[in-house]
Structure 1
């Protein structure tokens, strides 16, 4: 029901990250401290940024823009960890709808807004919205109807994509002079792939985490920010009186059809 609309969009962001935060050396050398990574080669910095991302147990991901020509600009705000817990939201853009997402343990809660029901589920949306009346849909994390979404909420998904693409060397990698991103000192790395310029900003001090990724060109205009590394995902979940079981929801809408 909602999986194809909400789940595949965050998964696309995960794939974009994976294809950008990659390098040619083998993973497993450990995370090096960035005392002065500006003296390293562009490939060495990229490798350390990749290893730092793979070593993280949790993080916050903030993505916005469009990933390819003709796509609708959207935004994703997720705090996620390796255990598959996440808390955040997805906005499909252009008043197409948004949804809150909470996953904790074996359960997932999703609360689409009115625009989502109207635009993404035109046949049954009004009935779903009326029954839920502002409550969350609650389902098992293994429910196939929400599986794409729950997988996108797992930091392991992002890290596995990064690891699987570690040997992707397409495009020349270039290093720019150290600059600032907010209050952080960063080293920008730029690579051209498929007529798109990918720029990765790597922390120049402390652990060499990737802090921002931008994609520009050929209809693509997107930014992904990374923060809150190794900080826990919020553990609060909606109370029972603010939830509605997804199986009961589908049964109710079938009866009223």
Structure 2
């Protein structure tokens, strides 16, 4: 079986998260951020979130065909990572530590992840199930799930999405006051970003309502340490050690 078959299948649990973006626009001078445009507030929020040492990310988005991708992980600037990723009604635990990515899912998870892959990939399911599958830390899955800086960059990749947004009312996100910024997208969706009004102007939530890929992501626990433990050797399997080829 090819290593690429497995890593590509796993990466589908994070690829859609870049769709969960939102930023910028013109303001009305109301408090908080008195006198600042939505463009200015959004830019400050993106920068503050990028500079944060760590954060917890929890969210979901719907893909084409109706399936849902979920993420619930704590990440830091060093790519330490701990949490879960999911696709449809299955999920897997993920850890990134010591420049190595570890992923553990049950049989159902791997059957779902590899259902579109060649027969030789699907035959590996019994060997992958309920084990911590060890992967190189530089593969696409790590970049999509455990790379905090890359995740923030992906959110802000299309800067046109943070132009022309409007300031809304303040509300609460997990007990913290936030200013809501909104924009109508080209596909009929409504994009929103909630920015903390006290302390650093971190992004607290982004949402996409309507359109083809609705979903939301909540950001919390800024600055909290992320210290994943390396899985026990007896509970891990090396993808290449299973006879997988690297290309």
Range class of TM-score, shorter chain: 0.7 to 0.9
Q: CA deviation at 1:45?
A: 1.6
Q: Say if 2:25 and 2:38, in contact at 8 Å, map to a contact too.
A: no
SS of 2:198's partner is coil
Q: How far apart in 2 are the matches of 1:170 and 1:113?
A: 39
Report what 2:179 is aligned to. Answer: 187
* From 192, 202, 212, the counterpart of 1:209: 202
Report what 1:111 is aligned to. Answer: 104
* From 136, 142, 148, the counterpart of 1:140: 136
Residues 12-51 of structure 1: CA distance to partner in whole angstroms, max 9, x if unpaired? Answer: 21x224x424679xxxxxxxxxx94255332222122112
* From 71, 75, 78, the counterpart of 1:76: 71
Q: Say if 1:170 and 1:193, in contact at 8 Å, map to a contact too.
A: no
Q: CA deviation at 1:162?
A: 4.9
SS of 1:70's partner is coil
TM-score using structure 2 length: 0.82
Aligned length: 232
Q: How far apart in 2 are the matches of 1:137 and 1:60?
A: 23
Q: Say if 2:190 and 2:209, in contact at 8 Å, map to a contact too.
A: yes
Q: Say if 1:38 and 1:178, in contact at 8 Å, map to a contact too.
A: no
Q: Does 1:7 align with 2:15?
A: no
TM-score using structure 1 length: 0.79
Report what 1:255 is aligned to. Answer: none
Matches within 5 A, 1:1-257: 1-13=5-17, 15-17=18-20, 19-21=21-23, 36-37=32-33, 40-66=36-62, 69-93=64-88, 95=89, 97-122=90-115, 123-124=119-120, 127-132=123-128, 134-142=130-138, 147-152=139-144, 153-162=146-155, 164-166=157-159, 168=160, 172-194=164-186, 195-250=188-243
Alignment RMSD = 2.6
Residues 39-82 of structure 1: CA distance to partner in whole angstroms, max 9, x if unpaired? Answer: 53322221221121121121111011315x53412211121122
Runs of 5+ unmatched residues, structure 2: none
Q: CA deviation at 1:149?
A: 0.2
Counterparts in 2 of 1:198 and 1:244: CA distance versus 1, 3 Å: same
Of 188-197 and 132-141, deviating more is 132-141
Q: How far apart in 2 are the matches of 1:22 and 1:9?
A: 28
